[in-house]
Amino acid sequence: MKISRFFRIVPLLLAGLFILFYSCEKEESTLDKDLQLLGSETKSNKKNKKADVCHNGRIINVSINALGAHQGHGDAIDLDGDGYFDIDNSCSETDCDDDDPNKNPGIEGSCDGEPGTAELLYGTWETTEIDINSYVGGQTLTDYLIEEVGLTQEEAEEQAELFEDSFIPEISGSLTINRDNTYDSAFAGGTDSGTWELSADEMTLTLFEGPDTIVITINSISESLWYATTSDDFLLVLYGVPVVPDVNVTVIANVVFAK
């Protein structure tokens, strides 16, 4: 992945050494594209004052004025237009809430009183805490700068902190997840928009902006707080020359969003 506007390449003056970190390619994620599109049918149904009825195993669209008669002889109806009928029937599973198209057996978690991850993601999130850590292999960047570059503990800590802190403004701001599978972000590093996908296990959100992708792990999410992690690798360059063999610096950002 390219980190795009989440992480911008940052030059770092390091104790007389000029170190540049370049984004390097990683394999693209292959994520489930199954996502829910909600609500549009409902609106048109209400406007036209018609609703679907499951009549002898067949779906018919009738005026809402005729619903009472159909219900009278045991037909199931779909008043919220989500494709799920209100009582036990042969056309669909039973709708748990026929007044709300966002609640039915097809939307995971929507019928047990707990909103699903996608439902929780919708809306505008503001970053409230950002913690950046960087690693070279199994070492922290600080340890690497001490052991491999020869800086003192104090110098290494200072430079690693400068490097890590440089990412914070880039990912401070807001991220809006829209129901039509688009997103808008407004970070200090720039505004952005594109599309999003949620993995089948609902633990990974991927943002697509043209050819760029940003993969965000959803550690936990509630109505008001979202704990997210994103990371990217950069190639270490010393004196303007890539270190040979390649040295990858992995930057991991733990972000708390609030809504």
Residue nearest to Ca ion (CB): 95
Nearer to Ca ion, 104 or 159 (CB): 104
- With the CA atoms of 186, 187, 188 and 192 taken in that order, what torsion angle do they form, in degrees rounded to the nearest 10? -60
Number of Cβ atoms within 10 Å of the Cβ of 25? 8
Determine if 209 is a binding residue for Ca ion (CB under 5 A).
Answer: no
Minimum Å gap between C-beta 70 and Ca ion is 14
Say which DSSP state 171 is in.
G
Distance separating alpha carbons of residues 145 and 158, to the nearest angstrom? 11
Task: Show the DSSP H helices in the chain as ranges.
Answer: 40-48, 67-72, 117-121, 141-147, 153-165
* Residue 66 three-state SS: helix
Nearer to Ca ion, 80 or 209 (CB): 80
Token duo for residue 47:
């406007």
Nearer to Ca ion, 109 or 143 (CB): 109
Task: Say if CB 50 and CB 60 are below 8 A apart.
Answer: no
Query: Which listed residue (7, 21, 84, 135) binds Ca ion by CB under 5 A?
Result: 84
Pick the piece of the chain touching Ca ion (CB under 5 A) from 43-51, 81-89, 106-114, 238-246: 81-89
Determine if 82 is a binding residue for Ca ion (CB under 5 A).
Answer: yes
* Residue 215 three-state SS: strand
**Closest C-alpha among 234, 165, 252 to residue 20:** 234
Determine if 80 is a binding residue for Ca ion (CB under 5 A).
Answer: yes
Distance separating alpha carbons of residues 25 and 15, to the nearest angstrom? 28
Show the site string, 143-162: x = touches Ca ion by CB under 5 A, - = not.
--------------------
Token duo for residue 160:
């690693």
Determine if 78 is a binding residue for Ca ion (CB under 5 A).
Answer: yes
Minimum Å gap between C-beta 67 and Ca ion is 13
**Closest C-alpha among 177, 42, 31, 172 to residue 97:** 42
The count of residues interacting with Ca ion (CB under 5 A) is 9
Query: Which listed residue (21, 52, 53, 98) binds Ca ion by CB under 5 A?
Result: 98
Minimum Å gap between C-beta 45 and Ca ion is 10
Determine if 95 is a binding residue for Ca ion (CB under 5 A).
Answer: yes
Determine if 104 is a binding residue for Ca ion (CB under 5 A).
Answer: yes
Nearer to Ca ion, 82 or 170 (CB): 82
Pick the piece of the chain touching Ca ion (CB under 5 A) from 46-54, 82-90, 121-129, 151-159: 82-90
Residues that bind Ca ion (CB under 5 A): 78, 80, 82, 84, 95, 97-98, 103-104
